[in-house]
Amino acid sequence: MKLIDLHVHSNHSDGSFSVERLMKKARDMGIELFSITDHDTITSQYEAVELAKKYDMNYITGVEINVVYPQLMDILGYGIDIYDEDLIEFLDRIKIFRKLRNKKMVELLSEEGFNISFDELEEKYDSTTIGRPHIAKILIKKGYGNSVSQLMNGHLSRDRKCFVERIRYSPKESIEMIKKSGGKAFLAHPAKLGIKNIQLEPLLDELIHYGLDGIEIMHYSHTLEYTKYLYDLANKKDLLISYGSDYHGFNKPFVNMSYSVNEQTFDEIEHWLKK
């Protein structure tokens, strides 16, 4: 058996650990195929690639692009060219969308009496992909809550006044960009789509039409029964499979890093992601 994890977040997006800490953790755990997939940014990839060389690790470049169709969806990109100018520009536009959204959320929080400013948010997290978890951390330090999850499910949740939806790319745009940059596109954690199995198959057909390569079958939100269903569905649709913990460090303390797979599965995943 071999250890693998192809869905991990650093503090370049909403994870709590640095790239170096994650790479060392993966090395020390004996993970033999690893990818950091930060939300809507590849800024973590440059350091990860260099550290992978230093630690002699089997590393796959990655990104997780948040899309909408019509529900929220995440598309994972593996083996992308992190120097592709079109991809960099594509992700930079998302950063602009996020900035406008964060500014509006902070304004709404201020109107509700919370002591927070957009300037302090930008100053503290300038090098990261800023989102609700970062706003939550500032609020916690000021005594407005005890944990990120508490605030994400409270004042910052989608059904509250201070929540602002942000502009997102479509699945088609995101899949095509991943492919254009030399990568392979995977649907992340299908269970989180909140749709029935009978709805997933036609959705996959549409995504495959756009160029989808694979599906994440193992994830903390998946039961063993659902994982088996996804495995069979991937075979039926001739899709690749991936295993990802969605590890966020302290921001998701209930999630552990890595999955154990047999050597044949490991070799197949490695072969297709590096092809």
Q: Where are the domains of the chain?
A: 2-90+167-274
Residue 127 has pLDDT above 70, yes or no: no
Determine the pLDDT at residue 209. 98
| Angle (deg, nearest 10), helices 171-180 and 85-111 | 140
Name the least confident of 55-69, 80-94, 95-109, 224-238: 95-109
What pLDDT does 19 receive?
Answer: 98
Q: Which of 51-65, 116-130, 179-193, 205-219 has the lowest mean pLDDT?
A: 116-130
* pTM of the predicted model as reported, rounded to 2 decimal places: 0.88
pLDDT at 71: 80
The mean pLDDT value for 247-268 works out to 94
Q: Is the pLDDT of residue 11 over 70?
A: yes
pLDDT band per the 50, 70, 90 thresholds, residue 268: very high
Q: Which residues contact 139 (CB under 8 A, 6 or more apart)?
A: 109, 114, 116, 145, 151, 155
Long-range CB pairs of 189-198, under 8 A, 24+ apart, other chains included: 189/74, 189/216, 189/219, 189/221, 189/222, 189/244, 189/246, 190/215, 190/216, 190/222, 190/230, 191/219, 191/221, 191/222, 191/226, 192/74, 192/219, 192/221, 193/71, 193/72, 193/73, 194/71, 195/71, 197/229
> In the structure, what pLDDT confidence band is assigned to residue 218 with cuts at 50, 70 and 90?
very high
Contacts of 266 (CB under 8 A, 6+ apart): 2, 4, 32, 33
Q: How confident is the model at residue 126 (pLDDT cuts 50, 70, 90)?
A: confident
Specify whether the backbone of 244 is left (phi greater than 0), alpha (psi in -120 to 50) or beta: beta
Q: What was the pLDDT predicted at 39? A: 94
Assign domain 2-90+167-274 to its CATH superfamily: Metal-dependent hydrolases (3.20.20.140)
Q: Which of 68-72, 98-102, 135-139, 263-267 has the lowest mean pLDDT?
A: 68-72
Whether the CB-CB separation of 21 and 46 falls below 8 Å is answered with no
Percent of the chain with pLDDT over 90: 76
Q: What is the pLDDT of residue 98?
A: 86
Percent of the chain with pLDDT over 70: 99
